[in-house]
Amino acid sequence: MAHWGGAAGGWSNTGHPSMQRPSGLKRSVDGWDDDELGRVYDHSVMRRLFPYLRPYKRQAIFATVGMLVAAVASNAQPFLIGLAVKRFIANDDLAGLNRIGIALVALAVIAWAAQYIQQTTTAYIGHNMLLTLRTQMFGHIEKLSLSFLDRNEVGRVMSRVQNDVTVLQELLTTGLLTVLQDFAGLALVILFLMYLDVELALVTFTVIPVLVIVMAVWQMRARTAFIRARQSIAIVNANLQENVSGVRVIQSLSREDENSRRFDRVNSDNLSANVEAGRVTAAVMPVVELLVSLATALVILVGGIRLLHGDVDPAAGVGTIVAFALYVQRFFDPVRDLVLQYTQLQRAMAGGQRIFEVLDTKPEIVDADDAVILPDVRGDVVFDHVTFEYLPGVPVLENIELRVQPGETVALVGATGAGKSTLTSLVARFYDVTTGRLLIDGHDVRDVERHSLARRLGIVLQDPFLFSGSVQDNIRYGRLEATEEDIIEAAKTVGAHDFIKRLPHGYETVLHERGHNLSLGQRQLIAFARAVIADPRILILDEATANVDTRTEVVIQRALKRLLKGRTSFVIAHRLSTVRGADRVVVLEHGRIVEEGTHAQLLARDGVYANLYRMTYEQADGHRAGGAAPLPAAGA
């Protein structure tokens, strides 16, 4: 049996109806790459997150109170130590020292309890927000038009739902919490310093301008270094994925050594990028510690001079210096934590930006406000001067005029890119026509509810997609109320029942990912059963028999006769047996209908169809291109 395709200009297709589109259309989600880093703080992202916090307002208040209590309890300890030196050690007051010791232990317990409450409550909020965001994104992506996936790779969309949401959740439960806690502590440190000694506090603050300059310079270098590190690991991952996916080709061409050398190069680039990022990170910490030492030295120097000059009470002065020395260490904690959290904050802000850009994407195919439910149809399909463009000004279909009668089977043929799959995509309303109308039983498909249209259609693709679950779950995927008898009857109709019964657990056999524990032919038969159980009035077969073996095709051809009977059918195929059995053959070329008729009529016309036929079928059977040999009979 001839396979219509494979020769230059042959009749082939690329699978899913939505996949026939201009090359170069793919890009990352709204221009955001996975290796892109955002700002350390993005107000627009944080503002969008607040609505997700509203259901947990009480818990958020609880966590905030816990954070403040922990900050007060923790930062009151140096104050008490200074007080112990000033009042009790200088005066040999053992009872007072005991009270200070008890107070320090009590503050430590309070700080621990408050931090525990704060962290568990924040984790509860973060994980619930993660659940809400991920559920909302899943539901939103399910409703987006196929044009969204035309522009965005599936892997990147999955990364939005999985990785970006997780990074954002980590920010809420750890990174942002640490930063807020540090800055709350910083505010308390400043208050304690000003309360203890304004003059000495101002001396301590003299290092702040130097710190600001250091952090500004470091941030510029760090951003460049971290971006390079993320880009290099993205290249490593892409190289690894490509080589693992193409390992058969690699081994067949003996490319192992060359590919190993290429991987070593990109891996070495990643190593140098990470070493440089580590150097940048390592460089700032000693500078911060130097400033801590400088501030401490200034406190001791200025405080000591005042003591020597008798400007302050000796006991009080020593206690103040001790408290200041302890507070200076805490004063720089936010800077240390910012360095440690820097990359996480950038990744989280960039991830949040990408998440909300996906959520802001509006479906292009939506029901009109006055959309009606499509009633039971006879299957009369009319293309009324239809033109369609994926990209503005680049028509893929142009001025299509076609009427398919109820119960008629129409075979769509043409070279790759002729517009066959695009035409059937319009019937399923994966896209809306650019100009003209597409009518089903007189109803413009744009005026009916999409779900009611989908219930009237059945689609079988070249690469059958099976879902996780049992065989019977896959067959009744589009008709959940189907009984066991309905499932078995559908399987028998398409010739799948016998092989299903031979499976380890029959109809209860659990399929692996995409049904890979079945052969391609078996997966295709289950896809046929899934289509027939819904009893659609309009059927679309997109290269449904292209990749099956001859024996399976015989079974499928028998099933097709029963499947197509009484249904309006669009068949995209390059198998002669499928095309020849159609009531009408429609030939597309460059997005236009150039010929129509039966198989025999078009061969007799000796036009585009006959030329394609000679280029494929006759060459496969050893006939001359000139057609001197007799053509096979209709039943051959």
Is the pLDDT at 436 greater than 70? The verdict is: yes
Mean of pLDDT over the chain: 81
Strand partners, 410: 570, 584
Name the token pair of 274.
């990470």
Give the long-range contacts of residues 155-160, CB within 8 A, separation 24 or more.
156/28, 156/29, 156/34, 157/29, 157/358, 159/34, 160/29, 160/354, 160/355, 160/358
Distance of CA 109 to the CA centre of its chain: 44
How much of the chain exceeds pLDDT 90, in percent? 17
Domains 43-360 and 381-621 share a fold: no
Dig out the tokens for 478 from the structure.
């589009």
Do 508 and 453 touch, CB atoms closer than 8 A? no
The encoded tokens of residue 389 equal: 């463009």
Q: Quick one: average pLDDT of 400-410?
A: 93
d(CA 350, CA 168): 9
The whole-number average pLDDT for the span 351-369 is: 83
- Does position 313 have pLDDT exceeding 80, yes or no? no
What are the extents of the domains in the chain?
43-360, 381-621
- In the prediction, which pLDDT does 398 show? 93
pLDDT over 90 (residue 285):
no
pLDDT band for position 315 (50/70/90)? low
Residue 141: CB partners within 8 Å, gap ≥ 6?
148, 157, 161, 358
CB atoms within 10 A of CB 410: 21
Exposure string over 161-198, b if 16+ CB within 10 A, otherwise e: beebbebbbbbbbbbbbbbbbbebbbebbeebbeebbe
Give me the pLDDT at residue 153, please: 67
Q: Residue 534: how many CB atoms within 10 A of its CB?
A: 18
Q: Are 438 and 383 in contact (CB under 8 A)?
A: yes
| Tens digits of residue pLDDT in 484-499 | 999 999 888 888 898 8
Does the domain spanning 43-360 belong to CATH 1.20.1560.10? yes
Structure-model confidence comparison of residues 484 and 317, the more confident one: 484
Residue 113 pLDDT > 60 = yes
Distance CA 314, CA 85 (A): 10
Of the given ranges (46-50, 178-182, 327-331, 609-613), which has the lowest mean pLDDT? 178-182
Highest mean pLDDT, choosing among 233-247, 319-333, 419-433, 509-523: 419-433
User: Which has the minimum average pLDDT: 149-163, 179-193, 383-397, 429-443?
Assistant: 149-163
Assign 25 a pLDDT band (cuts: 50, 70, 90). very low
- Which tokens in the block code for residue 288? 């911060």
Q: Which of residues 268 and 21 earns the better pLDDT score? A: 268
CA dihedral 32, 36, 42, 46 (to 10 degrees): 70
pLDDT at 401 over 50: yes
CATH class (in words) of the domain with range 381-621: alpha beta
Q: Give the mean pLDDT of 578-590.
A: 87
Looking at residue 447, its pLDDT comes to: 92
State the pLDDT at residue 154.
66
User: Given pLDDT bands bounded at 50, 70 and 90, which one contains residue 12?
Assistant: very low
CA dist., res. 557 & res. 553, Å (int): 6
Report the pLDDT value the prediction gives residue 94, as an integer from 0 to 100: 85
- d(CA 210, CA 194) in angstroms, rounded, equals 21
Band (39; pLDDT cuts 50, 70, 90): low
Is the pLDDT at 9 greater than 50? The verdict is: no
Q: Looking at per-residue confidence, does 226 or 327 come out higher?
A: 327
Q: Is the pLDDT at 633 greater than 70, yes or no?
A: no
Measured distance CA(449)–CA(194) in Å, rounded = 68
